[in-house]
Structure 1
């Protein structure tokens, strides 16, 4: 029994220690599992929230880039874009972003993050309203619409910065919470170890078990720490990738705006090179177009290692030429290694520095038409991967539109210059034609009386010679002398009459250039002046059986040069009597006058005659233009009247006529009161 009692005394502490060890082991293991689960839940929750928020941030940038691209395409004048559909799609994307951001706020956001997320939601709501406003105003006032939407770029920068900051804070918070949980775990382990050492002091078996358990805890803690570090690194890498994508989208948007903001082709080339060099690896860059005859590809702009090369061309006959393949197939061509080096050597000779090892050739296509191509080349053989090529394609889409606009503007300028030159040539031809008609009219009108005078003078000279010979020979008789005197008197009368006619023609020609010395400006009652003109023409009107209606309203009195106005009206009425009714007797003429503003007057001379042909109407006021030159009309009447009205009276004279429906001459006479 004693042996049993001793054994029980020995076993009791051992059993107690074992039970306590078991309890401590179970409690420690449960605590470790609980802490491990808590850490996993914290990391998983924060990682899921960060990934979701990062996705929302990327979609925000995609919406902004899509809207900027719509504005750039709209500024280029492309009518094929369905603006309403694009705006509806953008609005739908904004609604989806707002819904997902609200879900993130309710599930993952901390109390400190929620006010910031509410502000972002309000910015998205304002942006959706701005999109709706742009949809209503884009086709009305594009410039004001663009200036209105520009502040929203800053809004999106703030939204991106806020979202990126929340993502970074979430990751940092997850790391801090995991470190705190690790510290708690280590504290629990230390507490457990101290208790186990105190209880199991001297018990080797329990010490061994404690050692094993401690080893397990350390392994688990290290694994947990590694998992936290790995997930934190993954989150940081994801954030860096999102930031890089957002920056690329922003730079592409800036490139699109810069390219479509100018119509100068050289500036388009420079802007494209400047923006692409910051987006993709590029040691050489070129822009080319097809020559006019289609035989060569002309590189208008080529930069190698920062140096601009002179313009050069490549024949389209070379089947292996990558530029030829790209333009013929209207497809992207990528070349590597020796092919690129050989092409560059043929263009620029031995290249200083590194060797070009990769190149991409991208055609510029607008509405199915290949305008040219862009090549980007690098010393890195792996420079142009899928992501880089996608960036180049987007930039080329902007560049194609900008280059098409610039070339169209250049062609329009050339066409406009040609039209101006043609216009100047036509004006000069018209002046020469008027001068020719003037010279021909003067020659025709003066040659006839001068010819008669010369003939009569020749006859007089011959008669006088015959008389002198008859006197010298003694053959002169009284009858011959009387006959000679009568013939000489007739010839003298012919000479005098034609000389007077020539003098009258010269005086009439001098009236073509109106005397620039100002006449006397007097207060002229048009009812009296027009009555005197009608009285002057009454015999001619009666002779031609022409009825004249004389209408004066408002008793207009004008400060003007009465003599010049009388001369102009006299010539207009004479022209009407001579030409308005042709060979047909009768007709009706209406002479009217009415007061106009500022002390002026309007005078009209209208008839119901045969009218003026359309091809002659524009020349009726030209000097020496007449349709009845064979009837002795020199063609100066309306021209002199036009000069008197426009130069001396400072008014206007307009002739309106439809062939077969009469003619109306309108004089607008201003007041010449100083």
Structure 2
């Protein structure tokens, strides 16, 4: 490694510091063997030659690299880089335990480092399973100097196929607990993994194990925080819907009772009026020439107008009663209390109920004409779902669309808006595979920038002013669709080109 005079000087001046850093490996087998199991012991003699002195600068550099990233992906990438730089290996495979199952996590060659989708070691083609199992069992490093001279693993399918020259397999131990395994091989040179290289790698692996464990703990903490936030969302949503459901149930009860009386009484009044007008007509036939006083009274009452207008008035009352009933029913459907199990829902009923509740916001106001709603409903079967939750998703998306259209209308001329009317289009269909219901909600509003689009589903993110939005609606919506129903919600939007949400829901 060079600089022998300097290292000798450092040995003499700081023997206590050097002995605490350096560790020495002792081979447990004879020199003539081609396979070694390595154990570690503290170096007590610091006056050995330069062959046993590690390059401290390189070691410190590697140590800093291993410690510089707390994320799991970063820690893995740093470990792979450091090992490839110091091992003399052509191929490197990292395996980590996930839920007590050893998984292949990363793969590296001289030219490339890749973090792969984790798969169990038993199904991987990147490693000799017999060697991995031995290290997994005894938690000790294993060196094979020349596989062609070693028969113990000759039956391994990987060894037979790839015939590596040199093999090194190292456990990653953190406080005695195995968290993973490193597998290295060199296909060009026998004895590539010298005792000195193994010594360096053991030192690095000791720190790498700590760094990986810290990264895993950090990842778990991040996941726990995300789970806590998601639980908070669920509780907010559940409490919100429960409170709204109780309120609407009470309102519906208080409305429906008098509404029933009104509907029944209007029907009776229609019959009574029909009888009254029939009697009046009979009298007119029996008295074709009434007295002037009677004629004046008839004119004063505007009998002909009453005969024409009263049925219209009663019909209007019936329409109003029916409308109140529909609103009450829509509130009941919208706030439907979800049970522990899913139930069938006609998505069109849920959408119509939501539109009815939002009708007051769709109407024209002093700033803009009414928002046009276009419904392109396909032929859908009932979807097994939690109806109240899905109705909340529809409400969140439609309310946001109305907000966007209100925003884009501000400052515009009324006539200009009428020329390109604000519009919300709702389409439903089956997916191509016929196993999902698809609901598409499209508006011709202002659209979103790429920055907004990338954050729109984040909890707490909102583009609305203070007091106008909580930033929870779309985050809750995605959770309901994807986590509670196993579906998917997608977004397409560009500035000035409107927004489209697509909701994919499994039919069962």
Higher helix fraction (1 or 2): 1
Question: When the two structures are superposed, what TM-score results if normalisation uses the length of structure 1?
Answer: 0.31
Higher strand fraction (1 or 2): 2
User: Considering only CA atoms, is the larger Rg found in Structure 1 or Structure 2?
Assistant: 1
